[in-house]
Structures are given as C-alpha cells and as structure tokens.
Structure 1
Amino acid sequence: MTPGTEIDPVSGASAQVASAAPKLPTTTKRPWIRRRGITGALAAFGVVAMAAAVIAPTGMALAEQPEADTATAFSLAVEDTQDLTVTVEGATIAPVERGSFEVYVKPKPKPKPAPAVASTSTQSSSSAPGPVFYTGGGAPAEWMAAAGIASSDWGYVDYIVSKESGWNPNATNASSGACGLVQALPCSKVPGNGYDPVDNLRWGNGYATGRYGSWANAYAFWTANHWW
C-alpha cells in the first residue's frame, strides 16, 4: 500500500487520502533566536561599561595619592620592630643600629693581694712580751704617799701588803698570776705597770674602798678569811 492510501472498513475499497501537512524546511532559521543573541551581547557590554565607569575614578585617585599618605600605623610599627628569627635552638634577635656612639667600659679592678701575715704558731714563745719588773728604789711610806693613800690607813695597808707580797714589788703568784704588792688579779687590770709599786698601790686603794668601803673594812675581812 502506497502512502496516502486508506482501506474502507465496510467496502474494503481503497481510497486516496490527503497527505499530511508539509514539514518546515530544516534550513530555515528562526528570527527570535537571532534577536535573543543580540540582546544578551548588548547586556554584557553594558555591565562591563558600568563596572569600568565605577572602578576607573577610584583607580585614578589611588594612583594620584602621594606615597606618604599610604603609610599606616601597622606599616610604621613594622619598621620599628626588630627582625626575629626563630630556630630550633631558640630565638635569635638581629642586632639593631641605634646610633653612632660607643660605650666604653673600664676593666674591673683587680684586688690587691693582702700582705702575708706570719702564723702565730711559728712565732717563738720567747718573743711574747714578759712582765716588766720593778728595779727602782724607794720605801713603803713613799710608795703609799705617792699612790694617794691617807696616812691614817697606812697601818691597814701595811698589814695586808705584808701578808700578800712581803712588800716585794715583783712578787708573782705562780698559780693565779696575781702580781705586785697587793697581788692584783689579773695583773693586766692595773693601769700602767702591775709591778710598779705606786701603780700597784693606787689600784689597790681603789679596790679596797670600792669593794669593802674602806681599808679598815678590807683589813677586817682579810683577818677573818685570810684573803681579800
């Protein structure tokens, strides 16, 4: 059966039918697609032109701005900081030049060595100063008068001194170290020389009046105790 032929279901006869509507040629271009492409291109061009109009004045203003105006607080702070390099061993700070001056440090003075002092253990015992014994003359009355002892007390003094030293100015107690006429103890207490009879009696006068109140009381104590 040829295209365009149709069979009648009742009579069975075939009949020619009108062919379908003709198709549009495939090569025919649609005008609305062309108009759509032109409109998109014009819109893109408008966006680019508007962006250029906005950015151009800003770029020219930045180009004309002096270099000094572009400095910020952060950039100035960066210039003043030191370069810090951190390594595995720690932080290393690069030296910074802070001026052309120089600092002079005087060398630390060395202490002078102390003079050597001889050890006391090496000194001979004979070098120590010994007692200065009395070699002058005189009599007990002269010594007591020179020492300032009242003549009314001379009897008490004579008794005590006779018992203590026998009026020997150089008498020394071997056990205690008491020295002189009144056996001053220790001998170093006597101003002057403990073996000088006048110095020894002067010290004894102060001892008798200071400890016992008077030579009479000192005499009473000695007779009762045999020492004073």
Structure 2
Amino acid sequence: MSRISVRGFAVASATAVTTVGAVVGVASGDPQSSGDNLEAAASDATLLADIPLGQMAQVQSLSLAEQAGAQAAAAESTAQKSAEEAARIQAAKTAGEKKAAAEAKAKKEREAKAAKERASRASGGGRDASSFPAKGSYTIAEVKSMARQMIPADQFQCFSNIVERESGWRYTAQNPSSGAYGLVQALPGSKMSSAGADWRTNPATQIKWGLKYMNSRYDSPCGAWSFWQANRWY
C-alpha cells in the first residue's frame, strides 16, 4: 500500500514505455539491448502488477486534483492583479476629476474677480469729474479727496504712487523740458482736453483723463504703477 503515490504512477507509466522499448530492441536484432530491456521490462511490469487498479485510479485522481489546485491558484492570482489594476486606474481617474474640478473652480473665481474689477474700473470710483463744483484753486488735500472719490478703492494707492512721483499732487505742475503737464504729466497736456475743456485748471478733469489712460494702456492704475517701477515712466 505504501507504493501508491504519484511517483508510483509515474513509474508505472514509464514501465509501459520500457516494455515497448524492449520489444523494439528484440525486433532490431540487438541481443544485448534486447536482454537488458526485457529484464527491465519484466522488473517494472512486476512493480506495475503490484498496484491494484482501484489504487491506480486514486493516484490519477490525486494528480488531477493537484493540477486543478494549481490552476485555481493561478486564476486567483490573475484575478487579484486585475482587481488591483482596476482600482489603481479608478483612483487615478478620480484624482484627475478632482483636479479638473478644482482648476475649473479656480478659473471661474478668477474670471468673476476680473469681471468685477473691470466693472469697477469702467464706473470709476463712483463719482464723475463734472460732479465737483469748479473753484479758482485747489489744495493738495482737496485734490486727493477728489481722486479718492473717483478712483476704485483698490486702485487708489497705485494711482497715488504715480501722481506723487510725477507731480507731487500739483495739478498745475509742468515739466520745463518736455512740456508734460498736470497731475499725471500728460504729454502734451492738451491730450487731457478729451476729458474736459478745463483740463488746465480742474484737477478732477485731469484725474478722469489719467484714470482712463491707465486703464486703457495698462489695464489699471496698479498695472501702470508696476510698469512705472520697472521703467521710471509710464
């Protein structure tokens, strides 16, 4: 009974091959080969005969079971790898979707902010130059007050930085070399007539023209200030 094993089944199978080989040896006329093969075949045939047919079937069943188990293990491994790959792809897809959503949200916020700034610049600070009563002269404090009321709050400091360096907030300032005139040193000063005929004497008219110039050329007073810092002119 101890001989019954997978190895025993293999030996039994080999015995049949050996027996066939012995017969072939005899047919070829090789006495030595024929004798050896016949002797081996006889020995193996005896071993094969020792294994009952029922136990032989059991050996075959065990071998098939082992093969089935190996195949099942391989299939399970393949399925696990497929599941892991699918999970990785899904995670990457989810991360990509989240990133795209975040970028879309940020873009929308930037566009809304830009639209708000454009609207603010288009309407100025809320007060038009013509709404200020005309006077014979204006103090620096009065001119600054006008500017605060005409220029958007988030752009006033940039506007002020430029005016401070160009004219010191003096609306009658004139450059003796170039002829540039007024708060924003328009060159020539007559350009400001597009904002009002009183451009020489009315700081509100000069502020109106200066704001429009900065918006059209640099998108905003802060854009003009950035350029001024880099070039010392605008």
TM-score range, shorter chain: 0.3 to 0.5
TM-score by length of 2: 0.38
Q: Which has the larger radius of gyration?
A: 1
Q: Which has the higher strand share?
A: 1
Q: Which has the higher helix share?
A: 2
